[in-house]
Amino acid sequence: MKIKPYVYCLLACTALACNNPSNEQKSDKANLGDTTAVSNTAAFGGQIDGKEVKLYTINNGKGLTATLTNYGGRVVSLTVPDKESKPVDVVLGFATAAQYKASSEPYYGATIGRVGNRIAKGKFELDGKNYSIFTNNGQNTLHGGKKGFQDVVWEGEQLNDSTLVLRYRSPDGEENFPGNLAVKVTYTATANNGLRFDYEATTDKRTPVNLTNHAFFNLNGEGSGTINNHLLRVNANRYTPVDSTLIPLGNLASVKNTPFDFTTAQTIGSRVDQDNEQLKFGGGYDHNFVLNKGKTYGLAATVTGDRSGIKMQIFTDQPGLQFYGGNFMKGENVLKSGVKDDYRTSIALETQHFPDAVNQTGFPSIILDPGKVYKTTSEYIFSVVK
């Protein structure tokens, strides 16, 4: 029997023990990791690296509910109403922490760092010193190396029904990056019917930082099939072309008259199989778009589910947006709804600085200096089109 999206969302929440504690339980004296501010974590997956994995639920009181875990700073589920006012879980995820740990796709819903996206050949030079990072994506480093932020247990503090704070201290030399990096991510279920990510970081040595979230979306609901019929508009006249290993060539190319032109809304699959070298390199879309708004806060992209009518607008102060169309999904993992993560059944839209920025002098810098605060905001806002 095929499970409808709104039904499997409820099943997933039951399996994950998504019970929000009362306000009385969340006192002003709550400390980091206070178990009174979390759900029944035993049902979710026990310990990783000797630290307890916990689940948290936040909501805005208007129909948006997000379940998150401190393992990897992940969005486990995100439920919003569809055009018929039925709840739909629009984020792919797993029922246990162990499944996240064992997944052949390690980035489901995760906070990505220290450096999101790729570093060419895992090497960069900073202040006269050469650094080598583990190459986990062919000859390149992807999303922070062998054990990025998606594979660590964060400290959590639920401030109220709508706000969760996760913190992680990345020690000097972790994955060979310099400096002790203190990271804080605040997740807020907003009155705009959005999920907002506020990232902060400080360091005691100069170090590259490029944080993002790697939620995989299907706006028709997890397990509902292809995303190729989703309608996508990206506020970008240019993108960064890549070589065969998906490292940017360094130039900013026009999207005009190419399959990368989403300046007007297009279905994702309408041109994905065209005879285009860039599409061949990525197996489809896996490219960074240069947002027209620059570094100011503004609209980056709009996606609409063809069946649900759910519209997602992405706002950010970051200069780039990585659009990944699920090209490498192979149906190897069973999701929380009981279905597999088949080919092109989700998309990732990661707000970011540009890939390999640490090696590309023409790209906006991702180097954080001691005494400075890395601070960025992105929000995913949901509505419906009837």
Give me the amino acid identity at 368. Answer: L
Residue 287 falls in the annotated catalytic set: no
From edge to edge, which strands make up the β-sheet containing 65-69? 55-59, 65-69, 74-81, 87-89
Which of 44, 16, 32, 40 minimizes the C-alpha distance to 154? 32
The answer to whether residues 116 and 320 touch, using CB atoms and an 8 Å cutoff, is no
- Which single residue is written with the structure tokens 């992105």? 378
Region class of 45: left (phi > 0), else alpha (psi between -120 and 50), else beta: left
The pair of structure tokens assigned to 98 is 């162990």
Measured CA to CA, the distance from residue 325 to residue 341 in angstroms comes to 13
Residue 350 falls in the annotated catalytic set: yes
Q: Are strands 155-160 and 141-142 parallel, antiparallel or unpaired?
A: unpaired
Residues in the chain: 386
Which of 110, 121, 68, 306 minimizes the C-alpha distance to 211? 110
Catalytic residue among 287, 350, 353, 379: 350
Q: Which residues of 33-45 are buried (b: 16+ CB within 10 A; e: fewer)?
A: bbeebbbebebbb
223 contacts: CB under 8 Å, gap ≥ 6: 3, 5, 8, 335, 337, 338, 339, 345
Catalytic residue among 214, 230, 287, 353: 214
Residues noted as catalytic: 214, 350
